[in-house]
């Protein structure tokens, strides 16, 4: 007896509505401007109701970061079918940079969220898993670089991938956070410059 619990569909629908409102807010003003009360008000529910669908604010943040991760991976994996490893690599690099420029909030959340070091073991584990997954998004690049350097030397492929990822991320990170002012270049100029850099990084490395 008693009131029946919500169906899975109902729960998922409400979660989606909450996440939609959260995403809207997040894409506009970043994680800092994401408040439980604003989300609730946009959904049309009271603030505490959110806690029936998400454990807390960080659960929402994590969900958004996972979204960003999925989106970025999709846009990179789109090119896994290209046969020529060099071209595949270039396309993936461009996709990576393109994603970052078009989704700066997602990219910042993906790369700048600070690891959690609280007492709560579950929380730590959850955060660790998220960081593992973010870190692992470089795998298709790693595999492609492996094809380029010869699959035997996996250590070398790892090193080359590290360099490449650092260039890509460093560039994007500095550009998004407006730390490339000394160049006095537009975003388009920068992206074009980087496009020339990616193949050079690896053509150089091939010999």
Partner DNA sequence: CAACATTTTTTTACAGCGTAAACAATGGGA
Partner DNA sequence: TCCCATTGTTTACGCTGTAAAAAAATGTTG
Choice from 152, 182, 186, 188 touching its own copies (CB under 8 A): 182
**CB closer to DNA out of 3 and 181:** 3
- Alpha carbons 27 and 204: distance in angstroms, whole number: 38
Choice from 12, 13, 46, 153 touching DNA (CB under 7 A): 46
Choice from 28, 78, 139, 195 touching its own copies (CB under 8 A): 139
**CB closer to its own copies out of 27 and 197:** 197
48 interacts with its own copies by CB under 8 A: no
By CB under 7 A, which span of 2-10, 96-104, 152-160, 166-174 interacts with DNA?
2-10
Number of residues engaging its own copies in binding (CB under 8 A): 40
Choice from 55, 136, 151, 187 touching its own copies (CB under 8 A): 136
165 interacts with its own copies by CB under 8 A: yes
**CB closer to its own copies out of 45 and 167:** 167
174 interacts with its own copies by CB under 8 A: yes
At closest approach, how far in Å is the CB of 81 from its own copies?
23
- Alpha carbons 150 and 147: distance in angstroms, whole number: 5
**CB closer to DNA out of 34 and 69:** 34
């Amino acid at each position: 007896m008693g009131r029946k619990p919500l169906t899975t569909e109902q729960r998922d629908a409400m979660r989606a509505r909450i996440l939609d409102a959260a995403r809207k807010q997040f894409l506009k003003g970043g994680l800092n401007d994401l408040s439980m009360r604003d989300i609730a008000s946009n959904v049309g529910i009271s603030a505490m109701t959110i806690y029936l669908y998400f454990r807390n604010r960080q659960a929402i943040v994590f969900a958004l970061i996972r979204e960003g991760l999925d989106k970025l991976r999709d846009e990179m994996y789109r090119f896994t079918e290209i046969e020529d490893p060099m071209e595949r690599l270039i396309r993936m690099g461009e996709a990576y940079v393109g994603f970052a420029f078009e989704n700066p909030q997602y990219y910042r959340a993906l790369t700048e969220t600070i690891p959690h070091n609280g007492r709560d073991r579950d929380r730590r584990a959850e955060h660790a898993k998220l960081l593992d997954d973010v870190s692992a998004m470089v795998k298709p690049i790693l595999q492609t670089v492996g094809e380029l350097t010869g699959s035997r030397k996996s250590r070398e492929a790892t090193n080359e991938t590290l360099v490449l990822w650092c260039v890509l991320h460093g560039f994007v990170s500095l550009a998004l956070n407006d730390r490339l002012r000394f160049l006095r270049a537009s975003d388009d100029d920068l992206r074009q410059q980087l496009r020339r850099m990616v193949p050079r990084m690896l053509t150089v490395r091939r010999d």
